[in-house]
Structure 1
Amino acid sequence: MVNATEIDPGKKRSIHALEATNFFLADVQTGLGPFLAAYLAGAGWEPGRVGMALTIGGIITVALQAPAGAIVDQLRSKRLILVLASAVLAVGAVLLSITAAPWAVYTSQLLIGGAGPFLGPTLAAVTMGMIGVTFFDRQFGKNQSFNSAGNVACALLIAGMSHLFGNRAIFITAAVLTIPTVLAIRAIKSKDIDYNLSRGGASQVDGKEVPARASVMKTLLGDRVLLVFLGCAFLFHFANAAMLPQLGEMLSHGAKATAAPFMSACIIVTQVVIMCFASAIGRFANLHGRKPLLMVGFGVLPIRALLYTLTHNAGSLIAIQILDGVANAIFVVVSILVVADRTRGTGRFNLVQGSLATAVGLGAALSNTFGGELIQHFSYRISFVSLGAIAALAFVLLWTAIPETLPSANEPDKDVSSPATPQELPT
Structure 2
Amino acid sequence: MADVQAGIGPFLGVFLVAHGWQSGSIGSVMTIGGIAGMVMMAPAGAFIDETTHKRTCVIVLGICTVLASMIILVSQLFWVVALSQVATAIAGAAIGPALNGITLGIVRQAGFNRQNGYNQAFNHAGNLIGAGLSGWLGWMFGLTAVFWLSAVFGVLTIISVLMIPSDAIDDDEARGATLAAVGPIEETEPPRHRKPSGFRVLAESKPLLILAGALALFHLGNGAMLPLFGLAVVSAGQADPAGFVALTVVVAQGIMIITSLIAMHMAERRGQWLVLLVSFASLPIRGFVAAHLITSWGVYPVQVLDGIGAGLQSVAVPTLVARILNGTGRINVGQGVVMTMQGVGASLSPAIGGWLAQEIGYSLMFMILGSFALGSIALWVGFHGVLRVAASAPGRPQGVVFSGD
Query: Does TM-score exceed 0.5, indicating one fold?
Result: yes
Change (3 A) 1:408 1:317: closer
Q: What is the aligned partner in structure 1 of residue 388 from structure 2? A: 404
Amino acid at match of 1:236: F
Instruction: Work out which of the residue numbers 40, 44, 49 in structure 2 matches 1:73.
Output: 49
1:239 maps to which residue? 221
Residue 284 of structure 1: CA displacement? Answer: 1.6
The 1-side partners of 2:205 and 2:399 are apart by 19
Q: Could you give the per-residue CA deviations for residues 367-390 of structure 1, whole angstroms, max 9, x where no partner exists?
A: 244445556777555653442232
C-alpha RMSD of the superposition: 3.3
The 1:409–1:245 alpha-carbon spacing in structure 2 relative to 1, beyond 3 Å, is closer
Contact 1:242/1:371 (8 A) holds in 2: yes
Question: How far did residue 71 of structure 1 move?
Answer: 0.5
Q: Is the 2:287–2:369 Cα contact (8 Å) retained in structure 1?
A: yes
Amino acid at match of 1:398: W
**2:87 partner letter:** L
- Give the drift of 1:111: 1.5
Structure 1 counterpart SS, 2:36: helix
Task: Pick one of 211, 226, 238 that aligns with 2:194.
Answer: 211
How has the CA–CA distance of structure 1 residues 374 and 81 changed in structure 2, closer, same or farther, with 3 Å as cutoff? farther
**Cα shift readout 1:347-399 (whole Å, capped 9, x = no counterpart):** 11111111111112222222244445556777555653442232332232222
Could you tell me how far 1:272 is from its partner in structure 2? 1.6
1:208–1:326 Cα change, 3 Å:
closer
**Structure having greater relative contact order (Cα 8 Å, sep ≥ 6):** 1
In structure 2, the partner of 1:19 is none
Q: Cα distance, 1:296 vs. partner?
A: 1.0
Give the equivalent residue in structure 1 for 2:245: 263
Could you tell me which of 2, 27, 50 is aligned with 2:3?
Answer: 27
Q: 2:371 aligns with which of 389, 411, 414?
A: 389
Alpha-carbon distance, 1:116 to partner? 1.3
Query: 1:263 and 1:104, CA in 2 relative to 1: closer, same or farther beyond 3 A?
Result: farther
Equivalent of 2:209 in 223, 227, 231: 227
Unpaired runs of at least 5, structure 1: 1-24, 418-427
Query: Percent same amino acid at aligned positions?
Result: 31
> What is the alpha-carbon distance in structure 2 between the residues aligned to residue 408 and residue 296 of structure 1?
15
Q: How many residues align?
A: 389
> SS at 2:178's partner residue?
coil
- Counterpart in the other structure of 2:129: 153
Deviation at 1:126, TM superposition (A): 0.5
- Secondary structure of the structure 2 residue equivalent to 1:404: helix
Whether contact under 8 Å (1:96, 1:168) holds in the other structure is no
- How far the C-alpha of 1:400 sits from its partner, in A, is 1.9
Aligned pair partner of 1:325 in 304, 307, 314 = 307
Q: 2:185 matched to which residue of 1?
A: none
**Deviation for aligned residue 1:181:** 1.6
Q: What TM-score do you get using the length of structure 1 for normalisation?
A: 0.80
Q: Indicate conservation of the 8 Å contact 2:268/2:393, yes or no.
A: no
Q: Is the 8 A contact 2:180 2:326 kept in 1?
A: no
Q: Pick one of 126, 139, 163 that aligns with 1:163.
A: 139
Counterpart of 2:403 in structure 1 is none
Question: 1:128 offset after TM fit, Å?
Answer: 0.6
Query: Does 2:274 correspond to 1:292?
Result: yes
Whole-Å separation in 1 of the counterparts to 2:226 and 2:5:
16
Work out whether 1:132 is the aligned partner of 2:108.
yes
Return the offset for 1:342: 0.8
TM-score normalised per structure 2 = 0.84
Q: Which residue of 1 aligns with 2:345?
A: 363
Q: Which amino acid aligns with 2:164?
A: I
Distance in 1 between the 2:370 and 2:301 partners?
18
What corresponds to 2:186 in structure 1? none
